[in-house]
Every structure is written in C-alpha cells, then in structure tokens.
Amino acid sequence: MVANRNLILQDKASCLPAFLLNPPPNSFIVDACSAPGMKTSHLAALMHNTGEIFAFDRANDRVETMKEMLSYGGVKNTRVFNEDFLRVDTGSKQYAKVEYALVDPPCSGSGIVKRMDEWIGGGVDEYRLSKLANLQAMLVKHAMSLPSLKRVVYSTCSVHETENELVVAEVLKDVSHFRVVEGVLPQWKERGRDTYEFGRHCLRADPSKTATNGFFVAVFERVEGEEEEKSAKKGKKKGAKRLIEEESEEVEEEVEQKKMKTDDGEKKKKKKKGKKERQNTLSDRMRDSQESGKDGHTDMDQMKN
C-alpha cells in the first residue's frame, strides 16, 4: 500500500500540525509552505476531500513533487500555487472564506534525527537561525492578515528556541487579535520552554522522549468578543496617536515655515536698513569730500594771490 502510495507514512510529530488545526469538512484552508505535500494530504484526508485547500510553495521542483503526490493520493480539494506566500494578497476575494491556516515554513531541520550534528553539539549557525526566524515570523503574521481566519498552526522540525518560542513571542508582540490556544493536547507531555508565559501551551517533540523527530507546534486562535473589541480599540488608539503625531508634525512644519518666512523678512529688513545706512554714510563721505575739495581750491587760490 505504501509502495503504491495508497498509504502515506509520516513521522508521528509531523502529524501534529494538521491534527491540531482540526478543520471540519467543507473548510477553506491556506497551507502557506506546503511542498512536498505530506501535511497537505493529511488536511485533505481530515476533511474527507471536501472544502478547498490553497497550497503555496515557491520551490518549482518541490511543487512538482507535491502535485505528483497529491495526484497519487487521490487529493481533489487542493489548488496548488507555485508562489511565495508572502507575495499573496490575503485581501483577495478568493481567500475571503479561509478560516484555517497551516504555516510549516522553511527551518533549520535541526530536529530531524538523521541530522544529528546539532544534537551532539555540532556547530550552530546563529546568523542563519536569526534569518530563518525572521522569515518564519513574517509568514505567520501574513497568514494572520487573512480577514476571516480563526485558527492557525505554526510548526517546525527544529529544536532551536530561536525558531520556536522566540518566533511565537515575536508574533504575539506585533499581532493583538490572535493568542496562543491554552491546554492543547494535554496528554502530550513534552511542552514548550517554561521561561515563556505561553510555553506550557506549546508542544515539543524530542527523539529521546517521544520516539519522534525533534519538533515544535504552537496553535493560535483569533481573539473574540470583549477582548477583540479591546484589541480593536487599542488599534484605534494607536491609529489616533499616529494621526495626532502626524498632525503635530504638520503643525510643527507650518510653524517652522512661518518662522523661516519671518526670519527671512527680518533679514530682508535688516539688509535693506543696512544698505540704506551704507548709502547714507557714502553720501556723507562724498559731501565731506566735496566740501574739503572746495576748501582746498580756496586755499590754493589764496596762495596764488
């Protein structure tokens, strides 16, 4: 069955994202970084091939592999886009019904058992991790801009805090209308770092404890009701504050322009006054010179006489 692709095998930890997203039949879903399609096919199975999945990936070769896999798996509810999800217009009408999103972005892959170098103390490229974390946070936040989104799952096959809890913290810092879902899969013992307030609500997988690859999962849900109103008011206050600051800047600019005009006027007046004074001084000198000249001629005349 596996050889014929009637059955698709995944690591147990890799099954968590789709399972925790838990979309009901006939849902509309975005799979932001979907290739090679393992989790996409899992989502299709959970929905019994109903609804619609918008599957995005920018890598041409991986997209072709995904199309082949989905075809062999009998997946019929998925539209595949060879496109960078960050460039997708989430406000487009075709995504207006999307209520669920899965973001399983590019990561270091440090949790995959066959890459044991990082598990046994191999070198870690911190610069690369920070670049990956920045991309990961951007992808989650972009997914959260889908207007009807209710639930989003973020997952990595990384063991690094930089790509996991730190990304969640970054998202929560910038997005007020989503929060981490509490009490997710309580029977799963391995949780996120307890140095974060939300840590215990995230899931981690560890080869030595869960018999899986290293993995991380966080589930976000949209804030509703009174808290959503508070978030909206908070956003309005921020917007009003920005507007006030902009207006203040405009006023300051006008005052500065007026001040410059006044200064220019004063300078012109001073310049004009100075010119007049110089002209008066010059006239006085010329008059004095003429009078001196007259006196000189008189004296010469007297000497001649």
Token pair for residue 152? 């989003």
Quick one: 73 exposed, middle or buried, by C-beta within 10 A (0-12, 13-18, 19+)? buried
The counts of H helices and E strands in the chain are 7, 8
Q: How far apart are CA 190 and CA 204, in angstroms?
A: 5
Are the CB atoms for 146 and 115 separated by under 8 Å? no
Taking the chain, what is the end-to-end CA distance rounded to the nearest angstrom? 144
DSSP lists the bridge partners of residue 29 as 53, 100
Backbone angles phi, psi at 165, to 5 degrees: -60, -40
Q: How far apart are CA 56 and CA 32, in angstroms?
A: 5
Task: Say which of 33, 107, 157, 202 is annotated catalytic.
Answer: 157
Bond from prior residue into 36 cis (ω within 30 degrees of 0): yes
Per the annotation, the verdict on 202 as an active-site residue is no
Which residues does the annotation mark as catalytic? 157
